[in-house]
Amino acid sequence: MKRDFLTIWDLSRIEIEGMLRRAIDLKSGVDSNKCPLIGKSIGLFFEKPSTRTRVSFEVGIYQLGGQAIYLSPKEIQLGRGETIADTARVLSGYLSGIILRTYSHSSIEEFAMHSTIPVINGLSDLHHPCQAIADLMTILEKKRRLKDIRLAYIGDGNNVANSLIGAAARTGIEMVIACPKGFEPNQDVLKRAGNKEDAENAGEIIIVRDPKEAASRADVIYTDVWVSMGQEKEAGKKKAKFKNYQINKQLLQYAKKDVIVLHCLPAYRGQEITDDIMDGPNSAIFNQSENRLHTGKALLEFLL
The pLDDT confidence band at residue 236, using thresholds 50, 70 and 90, is confident
Residues that are catalytic: 101, 128, 131, 224, 264, 292
Return the CATH number of the domain spanning residue range 8-127+290-303: 3.40.50.1370
Start-end of CATH 3.40.50.1370 domains in the chain: 8-127+290-303, 131-284
Amino acid at 177: I
Detail the DSSP E strand segments found in the chain. 41-46, 67-71, 97-101, 119-123, 150-154, 174-178, 205-208, 220-223, 260-263
pLDDT digits (tens, 9 = 90+) for 169-204: 999 999 999 999 999 999 999 999 988 787 677 789
pLDDT score of 63 more than 90: yes
What local confidence, expressed as pLDDT, does residue 32 receive? 75
pLDDT score of 278 more than 80: yes
pLDDT digits (tens, 9 = 90+) for 18-58: 999 999 999 999 887 789 999 999 999 999 999 999 999 99
What local confidence, expressed as pLDDT, does residue 139 receive? 98
pLDDT score of 106 more than 80: yes
Instruction: Return the C-alpha torsion angle 148, 19, 114, 95, nearest 10.
Output: 150
pLDDT digits (tens, 9 = 90+) for 239-262: 899 999 999 999 999 999 999 999
> H/E element holding 171?
helix 159-171
What local confidence, expressed as pLDDT, does residue 31 receive? 81
For domain 131-284, give its CATH number from 3.30.530.20, 3.40.50.1370, 3.40.50.300, 3.30.2010.10.
Answer: 3.40.50.1370
pLDDT above 90 coverage of the chain, percent: 87
Helix (H, G, I), strand (E, B) or coil at 246: coil
Mean pLDDT of 139-156: 97
